[in-house]
Amino acid sequence: MSAIVIDGKAISLKVREEVKRRAGKLEPRGIVPCLAVILVGEDPASLSYVTAKEKALAEAEMASRDYRLAASTGEDELLALIGRLNADEQVHGILVQLPLPSHISEERVITAIDPRKDVDGFHPVSVGNMVLGRPGFLPCTPHGVLVLLRELRIPTAGAHAVVLGRSNIVGKPLANLLSRRDVNATVTICHTGTKELPSITRQGDILIAAAGRAGLVTADMVKEGAAVIDVGVNRVADSGAKKGYRLRGDVDYGPVAEKAAWITPVPGGVGPMTIAMLLQNVVEAAERFAGGRPC
């Protein structure tokens, strides 16, 4: 079998077109959806994510406000900035690029964001709404994975979905969303404490890798005909590459593509969807603001 390669770039462009249309509908009311993007420090990967997000916002004719803060910025200063952005009616979403320097508490910072502007979906209120199935902002990467499954019409009802990773931003929310009634998968979460990992991953009709370990998922760990979604983005040293590294997913792509029925490439799979779902959350935040609707 040779897998269908899931074109995340093309699907993300569809989402972004729709977002642009929704943003345009707010224009006559003088509302331009605006995301405040805060980057603390100069981590090169974070910098490239932030730049990509701002470019995508501009392409959707939405606004961004760029806050580049020194790595030495104190927690109080960052919290004060978030307080000002919470009160600013021109700003509909606030994104603090993670990870933060170790002297700043990510938990305190995320919790300081007004849940109505929490377009990353990381605030405890957003997480609670997601778990309870109430309206709210869904975290972008897990939401993007769900959209990919839906767009490709990959059967999820009754399917066994195996999620590799239990982080708060990917693994845990994905597992939660996959078990929702409208998705209806049976979910197993694997992590560093999991024993006999290959015997579990081989049961996955849907296998989602979000471990952050290049090439962890080899063909012998995959069920014939599975849908394999690779969330991992790992920088692997490559002296032949211009930047000295190349991006690799958690999945051993070539051999796994021979066995799976669907597979996402890295790059070009989940990554573009994350940005598209962020834009969707920003326009949603602006629409709620326009409609005076609560979070």
Q: Give the catalytic positions in this structure.
A: 53, 97, 120
- Least distance between ligand NAD and beta carbon 164 (Å): 6
- Least distance between ligand NAD and beta carbon 209 (Å): 8
Question: How would you class 281 by CB atoms within 10 Å of its CB: exposed for 0-12, middle for 13-18, buried for 19 or more?
Answer: buried
- Least distance between ligand NAD and beta carbon 170 (Å): 4
Which of 197, 219, 261, 295 binds ligand NAD (CB under 6 A)? It is: 197
Binding to ligand NAD by residue 271, rule CB under 6 A? yes
Which of 126, 141, 201, 280 binds ligand NAD (CB under 6 A)? It is: 141
Task: Give the total of residues touching ligand NAD (CB under 6 A).
Answer: 25
Q: How far apart are CA 262 and CA 254, in angstroms?
A: 12
Binding to ligand NAD by residue 170, rule CB under 6 A? yes
Binding to ligand NAD by residue 190, rule CB under 6 A? yes
Q: How far apart are CA 78 and CA 95, in angstroms?
A: 12
Buried b or exposed e, range 242-263, using 16+ CB within 10 angstroms: eeeeebbbbbbbeebbebbbbb
- Least distance between ligand NAD and beta carbon 165 (Å): 3
Q: How far apart are CA 295 and CA 126, in angstroms?
A: 9
Beta strand 262-263 with 4-5 is parallel
Q: Which of residues 145-164 bind ligand NAD (CB under 6 A)?
A: 164
Binding to ligand NAD by residue 169, rule CB under 6 A? yes
User: In angstroms, how far is CA 214 from the centroid of its own chain?
Assistant: 18
Taking CA atoms, 163 is separated from 49, 68, 109, 158, in Å, by 24, 34, 28, 15
Binding to ligand NAD by residue 265, rule CB under 6 A? no
> Which residues contribute to the site for ligand NAD (CB under 6 A)?
141, 164-167, 169-171, 190-192, 194, 197, 210-213, 216, 231-234, 270-271, 274
